Structures are given as structure tokens and as C-alpha cells.
Amino acid sequence: MASAITTHLDALRTQIFKISALKKHAEMVEEKTKVPVEYFVVGFLIVLAICIFSGFWAGSITNFVGFVYPAYCSIHAIESSEKDDDTQWLTYWVVFAFFCVIENFTDYILYWIPFYYAIKISFLVWCMTPQYKGAKIVYNTAIKPVFQKHESAIDAALNALDPQAVIDTAVEATSQKKSEEK
């Protein structure tokens, strides 16, 4: 058992030191504390798990995880010349946005599901991991069929919108509010 833990800690250490931006900071932490950096990472992950399972800052943590790494990878995808990574991250963002909208309307129900945030973070990690192609699976099985079924109605509604009418209505409401305040 101890050798298995040591093997995993060594693998974690190797991964940390592969990333040049982390290597410098990891060396500094080890030098100042005399504690291997992988122990800090494991401790941090344990604290995150406790927060997620207890509900303490769970919503913020899951949204942070669901946003920061994908945003970073999306920037890399934009800057690369490959198309596959663009498709991966565009698909992820469609799924993420769809999930956020549904969650916004069902939040009062989701509150009662035990370990909801642990499930949510697992789902988001599955969706963002290119090896699993979770976002592509969700998009193809859930979002794409609904979109294709209602695409013409959505397009018609969007085409019916008059942007100038929306602006005029907003200006009129602001003017009316100012006159009422006087």
C-alpha cells in the first residue's frame, strides 16, 4: 500500500515538474518549507473535495473548474492552426452554456440532490477532457437534435427582432424613469 502511494506521489511530482510555469514555483515552495510540493497539491485537492462534498463554496469551485481550464485551452485553440481543438472547445462551451441555463431554472430542485456539486464537477471534467469527448457526446445526443428540430422557429424569432426597436424601447424607458424621478 505504501509503495503504491509513493508511486502515485512520484508520478504527481513528475507531472508538476513537467510544467515549466509550475516548476519554478514548486522549487521555491520546497526550498522555503522543506516539504515536497506534491504533498501541498494532495492537501489542496483534499480541501477542495471537502468543500465540494460539504457544500461550502461548492458552486463557486465547480464554476471555477468548469471555466478556467477550458478558457485557457480555448485561448490555445484560437492561437493554434489546428481545427480539431477549436471544435472540441466550441462544443464544450455550447454544452457548458446549455448546462448553466438549465441549472439556472432548476436550481431550487438541484439543491435537494445529495452531492450535486460533486456530480456536476465530475460531469464538467468529463465534458472538458478531450480523451473522453464528453462534450461531443452530450452535444450530439441532447443538444443537436433539439436545436435541429426548432432551428427554423428560432431563426424566425431572431429575424423578427428589430434591434432599433429594442434600443428605442430602452431609451424611452430610461427617459420615463428620469422624468418620474424629477
- pLDDT at residue 8, rounded to an integer: 92
Report the C-alpha gap between 78 and 105 in whole angstroms: 32
What predicted TM-score, i.e. pTM, was given to this entire model?
Answer: 0.76
pLDDT band at 182 (very low <50, low <70, confident <90, very high): low
Predicted pLDDT of residue 163? 75
Q: Would you tell me how many other CB atoms lie within 10 Å of the CB of residue 55?
A: 13
Ranking 100-114, 149-163, 168-182 by mean pLDDT, the lowest is: 168-182
Q: Which amino acid makes up residue 29?
A: V
pLDDT in tens, 32-72: 999 999 999 999 999 999 999 988 899 999 999 999 999 99
d(CA 120, CA 12): 24
130 vs 18, 88, 97, 127, CA distance in Å? 20, 7, 18, 8
